Amino acid sequence: MSRHAALRTSLPRKLIALVLCIAASQSIPLPQGFAGELIYRSLPATKAPTIRDVVTLPNYREGQIVAMRVGGRFAYVIKPRGKVDPSKRWVWIFPFEHALASAGGGIEHQFYVDAALAKGFYVAGIDIGVACGSPRAAELCQRFYARLIGTDRLNPRARLLAQSNGGLNAYAWAVRHPDCLECLAGIYPATDLRSWPGLAKALV
């Protein structure tokens, strides 16, 4: 069962409609081409999403969010509204939801995103779930990278910002594609499956 299907079966339709109405009343754009489907923060495959896991696309004063699908997964790039960095440098957020608005309305990395956009940098992210640095997740990240470099003509050397469980996925991609990396900054990133989430959970 897909993540979206799981939510539809676990939550009343009226509750889902209420979320969509709230988003519309606050002028929060829903992803184009998603047929009104909700977006969720990164979750383990064993956890069914709830209304508290919903994230939305915020209105950045310095940037415009463009939503897309890559490999069937939700992704986005935030384009600076003002002067663009001549080299079209960009920051890749791991996990993706830290540049989006949580169910409570807060944006985990708003300070960093605002600073990047003010400098003319792009900001991007893709939902790969809590993949724990799996080869499949790294492959999906590479498809996303190729999309940004090919279609959006962004700088071929990415700048990664990884926090918590995003560290495993960021390092998993970076170690496979060192020539595509400019630098990687970590905020207490997970880097060892033995310490988080633990081998027993990672191998489920």
pLDDT at 79 over 50: yes
Burial class (CB in 10 A: 0-12, 13-18, 19+), 165: buried
Domain at 163, CATH number = 3.40.50
Report which of residues 203 and 54 the model is more confident about.
54
Q: Is the peptide bond before 95 cis (omega within 30 degrees of 0)?
A: yes
Q: Could you give the CA distance from residue 14 to residue 30 in angstroms, rounded to a whole number?
A: 18
Task: Copy the structure tokens of residue 177.
Answer: 């594609």
> How confident is the model over 90-111, as a mean pLDDT?
95
Q: What is the mean pLDDT of the chain?
A: 83
Q: Could you give the CA distance from residue 136 to residue 120 in angstroms, rounded to a whole number?
A: 32
* pLDDT per residue as tens digits for the range 25-42: 343 444 333 446 789 998
pLDDT at 133: 81
**How many folded domains does the chain comprise?**
1
Query: What percentage of the chain carries pLDDT values higher than 70?
Result: 77
Of the candidates 58, 77, 64, 55, the one whose C-alpha atom is nearest the C-alpha of residue 144 is 77
* pTM higher than 0.75: yes
Domain that residue 141 falls in? 3-202
